[in-house]
Structure 1
Amino acid sequence: MTKRTETVRVPDGEFSLHVWLPEKGSGPGVLLIQEIFGVGDYMAAVADDLTALGYVVAAPDMFWRLERDWSVEHSESMMAEASDKVSRFDWTKGEDDLEAALDRLRELPEVSGGVGAVGFCFGGSLAYLLAARASEKLDAVVSFYGSRVPNDLDRAGDITVPIQFHFGGSDPYIPREKVAAVEEALAGRDDVEFHVQEDGGHAFHNRTSPLFHQPEPAARAWALTEDFLARRLPVR
């Protein structure tokens, strides 16, 4: 897997876009949206999984306005620092940055075919907001346990791209009744898939963190993700 760093330019600055290429060198694009700990080992591990499937993967540095290229280990001791980053994050400018990163991904010469987005935790919320903002630029979106999704259901009607949601039924940060509200708001739509791992807590997919990782729900959710991407964002 080849990795490099591109630059995304916006009107008031620029930031890093970390790019991973599949073995054959080209393929559909996936915008990989970080969780609260930055673009670190976990995002690199997910990028490895996605490039193995044949995708060109690009992860933008979403915290660049606070601290450039910041990432920390997934531990209890770093939770406060990571949570502070999220509390100071400008969601309006963040959406602008995310769409700019998507546009940059679409411009990469190695990207052939469609383009999708996959986000986790903080990034799961951003993936949902990107789907609402820029459905016409996307072929598939996967949102893992985005805690802001239940609070932004007024934007669900703007989503026209196929989207898959994953939640944990035992997530202390997203109560089960809020998960049910998201499911109810999106029920009956052919372009929406909704999956709850009832035994899953928050960030259950994060295999780099003993604090969060739950292998069984993680494996089930990732199998569903691979199937969804294969149907909605096929690698030729």
Structure 2
Amino acid sequence: MEEVKAFLDSLPHSAWNNPGERDKALAELDAEKQDRVTKTFERMFGGINSSAYIEKLLAATKYIREENTSTKGQGVVSIGFCMGGALSELLACRDEQLNGAVIFYGNAPTDEELQNIHCPVYGFYGDQDKRITDNVPAFAEQMKQNGKNFDYQIYPQTGHAFFNDTRASYNVVAARDAFQRVLRFFYDILNH
């Protein structure tokens, strides 16, 4: 995973979601490293199988809400980044008692899945993360048409993983702004 991270950080952001540009850069690696990076990349970014995760997430929110002595009876919110952002959104689709969900640069759920959202959702995106961010206006419109509460922020000159301070894509201004917005969002949801 560290090799994939280092490889991605060595590329211009446009190559992250451009297979042709990425393959050209991969071809410059020695054969053994190229094989490791390719296989790990496919494993990491080959899409998520939500059914492999959602039951565990539902069990976790149930435990937090109903069984853990220090959190029992309190509201539960979710937050996720990249794949975790998509999972946070899917949790909002599947957990009717979830109080709120935050997505950081994660794919939106299907139109069918978003019908089941019962909580406010807040999304954070970078304008240079075209593969995901270009779909946000349509997602926002679908949420609005279905009477769902969705707010989002798209940061200019910002790419994918802008919140991760260990990545070359880290954007301190966007990350700090998003952080205070998330804290306010969760505070408002859990304290009203």
Structure 2-normalised TM-score?
A: 0.71
1:105 aligns to what? Answer: 64
User: Identity rate of aligned residues, in percent?
Assistant: 26
Which of residues 126, 129, 140 in structure 2 aligns to 1:183?
A: 140
Alignment gaps of 5+ in structure 1? 1-36, 38-71
Does residue 126 of the first structure (1) align with residue 87 of the second (2)? yes
- Where do residues 116-195 of structure 1 align in structure 2 (5 Å cutoff)? 116-136=77-97, 138-147=98-107, 149=108, 152-176=110-134, 178-187=135-144, 189=147, 191-195=149-153
- Where do residues 30-69 of structure 1 align in structure 2 (5 Å cutoff)? none
2:50 aligns to what? Answer: 91
In 2, Cα distance between equivalents of 1:205 and 1:131: 22
Does residue 234 of the first structure (1) align with residue 191 of the second (2)? yes
Q: Which amino acid in the other structure matches residue 154 of structure 2? A: V
1:214 aligns to what? Answer: 171
Does residue 196 of the first structure (1) align with residue 115 of the second (2)? no
Q: Is the 8 A contact 1:119 1:143 kept in 2?
A: yes
Q: Tell me by how many angstroms 1:197 deviates.
A: 1.4
Structure 1-normalised TM-score?
A: 0.59
Q: Structure 1 or 2: larger helix share?
A: 2
Q: Tell me by how many angstroms 1:82 deviates.
A: 5.2
Q: Structure 1 or 2: larger strand share?
A: 1
In 1, Cα distance between equivalents of 2:162 and 2:43: 21
Summarize the Cα distance change of 1:190–1:99 in structure 2 as closer, same or farther, 3 Å threshold: closer
Q: Which amino acid in the other structure matches residue 159 of structure 1? A: I
Alignment gaps of 5+ in structure 2? 9-36
Q: Which amino acid in the other structure matches residue 215 of structure 1? A: V
Q: Is the 8 A contact 1:173 1:202 kept in 2?
A: no
Higher relative contact order (CA 8 A, sep 6+): 1
RMSD between superposed Cα atoms in Å: 2.7
Q: Which amino acid in the other structure matches residue 201 of structure 1? A: G
In 2, Cα distance between equivalents of 1:159 and 1:226: 21
Structure with bigger gyration radius: 2
| Corresponding pairs, count | 160
Of 165-174 and 74-83, more deviation after overlay is shown by: 74-83
Q: Tell me by how many angstroms 1:179 deviates.
A: 1.8
In 2, Cα distance between equivalents of 1:162 and 1:175: 19
Summarize the Cα distance change of 1:87–1:196 in structure 2 as closer, same or farther, 3 Å threshold: same
Q: Is the 8 A contact 1:95 1:129 kept in 2?
A: yes
3-state SS of paired residue (1:114): coil
Q: Tell me by how many angstroms 1:100 deviates.
A: 1.5
Summarize the Cα distance change of 1:83–1:217 in structure 2 as closer, same or farther, 3 Å threshold: farther
Q: Which runs of 4+ in 1 moved over 6 A?
A: none
Q: Deviations over 1:181-224 (max 9, x none)?
A: 11221237473222211322101111122x22111111111121
